[in-house]
């Protein structure tokens, strides 16, 4: 993966893709209800992207050892952490469903994810969702032009673990813009010594990052079946996923996937 530094014109193009993603997530929030299927959500997003003159960077995405990703969104329910496949199973009252959406328009990508509760969340689900969302914004708040990447990572881990939950290690945020995954990686934790060079990386103006804490109800470990896409919590606990595409500008940090 290469790291790109984007011009003001290019950030504007990423911002437009981010706006389309944010609109899709708003519609999904209005749609999620008992009986709705994640395949219906996938169709909604595909239609909205088409109307916007855009497409999904997820559909057909190639990863070694796996078949091309078959959908426009990732739909991860309950113990599925990331890369869940849309299907025809109706969502049930109390389910937690994380929807990850990308948009590529005029060659530039916006990427965002949000976790929704189907109906009314139980008390623990409320706390878990709040921890995930607040960790995302704590990480973004810790970002500063010419600051250090590790400040973002530390803020996320501190908030999540302070609430009694855990941060996934195997999957992290990333640069984004002309490709779905660019350098640098954006960890949500700081507890490994060999990460120190990455955590000390300077946030340079022109960097665009997908900041995306994945927060587990219980332990941080995840599992997946060889050749298959979905990643689940190892202990069966629920997981939430919140993500924004964020630009580092000369004088500020800007969220590009927020209406």
Asked if residue 168 has pLDDT above 80, the reply is: yes
Rounded-to-integer distance, Cα 188 and Cα 154, Å: 7
Share of the chain above pLDDT 90, in %: 95
Q: What pTM, to 2 d.p., does this model score?
A: 0.97
Confidence band for 184, pLDDT divided at 50, 70 and 90: very high
Predicted local confidence at residue 196, as pLDDT: 74
- Per the prediction, the chain carries an average pLDDT of 96
For domain 8-255, give the fold.
Creatine Amidinohydrolase (3.90.230)
Asked if residue 126 has pLDDT above 90, the reply is: yes
Asked if residue 197 has pLDDT above 90, the reply is: no
pLDDT, one tens digit per residue, over 206-229 is 999 999 999 999 999 999 999 999
Share of the chain above pLDDT 70, in %: 98
Domain boundaries, the chain: 8-255
Longest dimension (CA), the chain: 47
Predicted local confidence at residue 194, as pLDDT: 65
Rounded-to-integer distance, Cα 168 and Cα 170, Å: 6
User: Beta strands of the chain (E only): which ranges?
Assistant: 73-77, 80-82, 96-105, 108-117, 166-167, 173-175, 182-186, 208-211, 214-216, 222-224, 231-233, 239-241, 244-248, 253-255
Predicted local confidence at residue 199, as pLDDT: 82
Q: Which are the contacts of 19, defined by CB distance < 8 A and separation ≥ 6?
A: 110, 256, 257, 259
């Amino acid at each position: 993966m290469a790291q790109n530094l984007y011009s003001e014109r290019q950030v504007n193009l990423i911002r437009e893709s981010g706006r389309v993603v944010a609109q899709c997530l708003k519609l999904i929030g209005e749609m999620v209800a008992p009986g709705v299927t994640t395949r219906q959500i996938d169709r909604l997003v595909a239609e909205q992207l088409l109307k916007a003159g855009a497409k999904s960077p997820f559909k057909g995405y190639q990863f070694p050892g796996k078949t091309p990703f078959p959908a426009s969104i990732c739909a991860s329910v309950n113990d599925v952490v990331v890369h869940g496949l849309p299907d025809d199973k109706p969502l049930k009252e109390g389910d937690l469903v994380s929807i990850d959406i990308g948009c590529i328009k005029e060659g530039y990508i916006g990427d965002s994810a949000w976790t929704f509760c189907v109906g009314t969340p139980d008390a623990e689900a409320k706390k878990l969702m709040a921890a995930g969302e607040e960790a995302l914004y704590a990480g973004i708040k810790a970002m500063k032009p010419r600051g250090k990447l590790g400040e973002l990572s530390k803020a996320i881990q501190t908030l999540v673990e302070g609430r009694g939950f855990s941060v996934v290690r195997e999957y992290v945020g990333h640069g984004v813009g002309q490709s779905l995954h660019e350098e640098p990686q954006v960890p949500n934790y700081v507890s490994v010594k060999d990460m120190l060079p990455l955590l000390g990386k300077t946030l340079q103006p022109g960097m665009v990052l997908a900041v995306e804490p994945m927060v587990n109800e219980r332990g941080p470990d995840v599992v997946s079946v060889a050749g298959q896409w979905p990643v689940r919590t190892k202990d069966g606990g629920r997981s939430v996923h919140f993500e924004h595409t964020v630009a580092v500008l000369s004088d500020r940090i800007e969220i590009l996937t927020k209406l």
